[in-house]
A and B are shown apart, each in its own frame.
Chain A
Amino acid sequence: MTETAAAFSWKKGILTAALLVLSLLFLLPFVWMLVTSFKPESEVFVYPIQWIPKQWNAVQNYSEVWAGSYPFWRYYLNSIQVALITTAISVAVSSLAAYGFSKIRFKAAGPLFLIVLATYMVPHQAILVPQFILYRRIGLFDSHLGLILLGSFSVLGTFMLRQFFMGVHNELIESAKIDGASHPRTFGSIALPLVRPAVATYAILRFIWTWNDYQNPLIFLRSDSLFTIPLAMQKFTSMSGQFYSLIMAAAVSAILPLLIVFILGQKSVIEGIATGGVKG
C-alpha cells in the first residue's frame, strides 16, 4: 500500500466517472419526464432534446392534472387514506400475531404459525377470482374498506416482526409476568417499544407498497371517485391519449412525493430492505 487513505486515487476517480455515466441511464428518464412536464405539447418531441424548455407551460399542464376532469388532489386524498389505514391495521395485526407466535407459550403456536407461513406460497393472483366473488357477495367490492382489508393481513410483516420479537429476552417477559402484568400490558409497554425500529421499517415498506399498488385497485374498485394514484395515473393516460406533456405532469405528480419521502428517509428504507430481504 503506497497510498494513504485520504489521497485521491486515479483508479477510483475513473471508476466513479464511469459509474456516473452509467447512472445517467437511471436518472435521465426521470429528468426527461420532469422537463417534458413543463413544456407545451408542440415541443415534447423536438430533437435534439431540449433539456431546458424554451417555452414554459408548467402552470397549465399541472393545473390540468390537479384540477381537470381527473383531479389528482382527490386521488391523493384517496391514496393517503388507503395507505395510512392499511399500514396502521397491518402493523397492529402483524405485531400482535408476531408477539403471540414468539412470546406466548400456547400449544397451537407452532402449527398455527406454519399454516400462516404456508399461505405465503400462494401467489396473490391465484386467488383473485374467489376474492372478487366473495367481495361482490359481502358488499366489499368497490369500497376503500375492501381495499384496505386486502392489504391488512401480511404474512411477510408477521414473519419479519416475529424475528425481531424473538430477539427480545424471555427474562424480560417472564419478570413482567411475575410482576403481574398481563400479556397485553407486556406487549404494549415492554416488547413493542423494544422492537420499534423494526416496526417503523415495516410500516414504511407497507406504506410504499400500498401506495404503489395497482392490481388490487384495478380489480376491486370501479368508481372514479375512489381511485388511488396508480389507477388514476393509468386512466388519465388512456384519456389524455397524445397529450404527452400532460401525461408526464401526471407521472411527476405520481412519483415525486414518494421519491422525496424516500430520499429523506432513505437510510431506514434501504437498511430495512437489506436486513429484511423483503420484496413488495
Chain B
Amino acid sequence: MKATTTGGAAVEAAAPPSKARRRSRGEELWGWLFVSPMLLGVTVLVLLPIVATFVLSLADWNFVQGWDGIKWIGLDNFDKLLRDDLFLRSVRNNVIFLLAVPVYMAISMILAVVIDRHVYMKGFFKVAYFMPYISNIVAVAVVWQVLFHPSNGPVNQMLRALGVSQPPGWLADPNYALPSIMLIVVWTSIGFNLILYMAGLQSIPRDLYEAAEIDGASGWVRFARITVPLLSPTSFFLLVTGVISTFKVFDIIAVTTQGGPIGSTSMMVWYLYDTAFVNLKVGYASSIAVVLFAFVLLITLGQWAAQKKWVNY
C-alpha cells in the first residue's frame, strides 16, 4: 500500500463521479458497522426496556403469574401511588436528601480553595479526602454501621466520654436514620467534588487575584467576587449530577437500613426495588420507575434551560 501513495493520490483527484459515489457508499457501510455494537446494546438493554417500563406501568401483574396473569388497568397504578403513604414518604425523603448536595458542595469548594493555595502537602490531602469515594460503598456502609452502633459503637462511646448522656441511636433511630445516611453520603461525596473544584480553580487566571489585591480587596471579597462566580460552571455541573444522584441512592440504604426503621429511610429507588423484587408487584413498580424517570428528565431538561441564565462563563 505504501508504495502507491503518490499514485493513489493522483487517482483520487481524477476519480470519476461513480467512484466518489462508491466511496461514500463505503463510508455509509463503515459508519454503520462501527457504531452497530453500541446501537445494538443500547437498543436491547436500554431503549426496549424503557418502552416496556411505560407499558408495564399500565398493568397489574405479578412475576409469578406468567403472561396470562396480566390485567390492564390504565392509570390506576399512578392513582394508587398518589395515595400510597410509603411512596409519598419516600419522595419526601428524596427531597430532604437534596439538602446533602449543597452541604458537600460548600465544604468541597472551601477545601479546594484552601488545599489549592494555602497548605503544604497538597498531594496527601487530595488522596486522603478522595479515599472514601474510591472505596467500595458496601464496605464503607458496613464500617459506618458499626461505628454508629447505638450502645457500643466508637462514635457514641466518644460522645458519652464527652458528657453526652443520651447520644442518638443513629441508623437505628427513626429520627436520626436519614440524617445519618446523609452524613455518610456527604463523607463519601466530598472527594469527587473536591477534585472537580480543584480542576475548576486551575482555569481561573491568577492576574484577576493580583489585580483585586492591588485594588485592596480582602481575602473574603476575592473569594466571594472572583472564586465563587468563576467556579459557577463547575458548581452547576456538580449541582445537577448531585441532584440526579440523590434520586438514584440505593446501595447505602440496601446495606444499612433497608428503608427502616419504620420507613424513615425509604427512598424512591429503594421502594421500587422492594416493590418489584421483594413483593413482586411488577406493574406497580413500573409506575414508580416512570415517576423516577420523569424526575430525572425534568432535572436534565431544567438544566439546559437554567444553564444560560445562571452560569458565568
A interface residue numbers (CB < 8 A to B): 11-13, 15-16, 19, 23, 25-27, 29-30, 32-33, 36, 44-45, 47-49, 92-94, 96-97, 99-101, 104-109, 112, 115-116, 119, 121-134, 149-150, 152-153, 155, 158, 178-184, 187, 208, 211-212, 214-215, 218-219, 229-231, 233-234, 237, 244, 247-248, 250-251, 254-255, 258-259, 262-263, 266, 269-270, 273-275, 277, 279
Tell me if A119 and B125 are in contact (CB < 8 A).
no
Determine whether the beta carbon of B127 is less than 8 Å from that of A19. Answer: no
> Given A263-B127, A270-B130, is A96 in contact with B38 using a C-beta cutoff of 8 Å?
yes
- Whether a CB of chain A sits under 8 angstroms from the CB of B255 is yes
> B37: which of A45, A93, A250, A254 is its contact (CB, 8 Å)?
A93
Beyond known contacts A26-B128, A179-B5, A184-B30: 10 more, CB 8 A cutoff = A15-B118, A45-B152, A108-B31, A115-B42, A122-B46, A127-B52, A129-B276, A214-B137, A262-B130, A273-B196
Q: Give the distance in Å from the alpha carbon of A265 to the alpha carbon of B290 in the complex.
A: 40
Contacts of A211 in B (CB 8 A): 136
**Interchain CB contact under 8 A, B129 and A23:** yes
Contacts of A230 in B (CB 8 A): 136-139
> Which residues of the partner chain A approach B157 to less than 8 Å between Cβ atoms?
45, 47, 49
Given the complex, which residues of B lie within 8 Å of A233, measured CB to CB? 136, 138-139, 142
A59 vs B132: C-alpha distance when bound (angstroms):
26
Instruction: Give Cα A121–Cα B121 distance, bound, in whole angstroms.
Output: 39
The A interface is mostly helix, strand or loop, or mixed, namely helix
**Among A106, A255, A277, A279, contact of B30 (Cβ-Cβ < 8 Å):** A106
Report whether A258 and B196 are in contact in the complex, using a CB–CB cutoff of 8 Å: no
CB of B103, distance to nearest CB on chain A (Å) = 14
Q: What is the bound-complex CA distance between A212 and B252, given in angstroms? A: 12
Chain B residues, CB < 8 A from A15: 114, 118-119
Choose among A12, A97, A106 the residue that contacts B27 (Cβ–Cβ < 8 A).
A106
Chain A min CB distance to B277 (Å): 6
Docked CA distance A83–B137 (Å): 16
Which chain A positions have C-beta within 8 A of B5?
A: 178-179
Quote the shortest CB–CB distance from A91 to chain B (angstroms): 12
- Identify which of residues 35-94 in chain B touch chain A, using a CB-to-CB cut-off of 8 Å: 35, 37-39, 41-42, 44-50, 52-53, 56, 63
Given known contacts A121-B297, A129-B289, A237-B142, is B1 in contact with A179 (CB within 8 Å)? yes
Pair A125/B248 contact, Cβ less than 8 Å: yes
Distance (whole angstroms) from the CB of A116 to the closest CB of chain B: 6
Q: Which of B115-151 contact A (CB under 8 A)?
A: 115, 118-121, 125-132, 134-140, 142-144, 146-147, 149
CB of B306 within 8 A of chain A?
Answer: no
Q: Is the CB of A215 within 8 A of B30?
A: no
Question: Is B52 within 8 A of A100, CB to CB?
Answer: no
Chain A residues within 8 Å of B129, by CB: 23, 26
Which residues from A are CB-within-8-Å of B296? 121-123, 126
CB neighbours of A149 from chain B (8 A)? 41, 45
Task: Decide yes or no whether B231 CB sits under 8 A from chain A.
Answer: no
Given the known inter-chain contacts A96-B37, A116-B39, A208-B134, please indicate yes or no for A12 contacting B118, CB distance below 8 A: yes
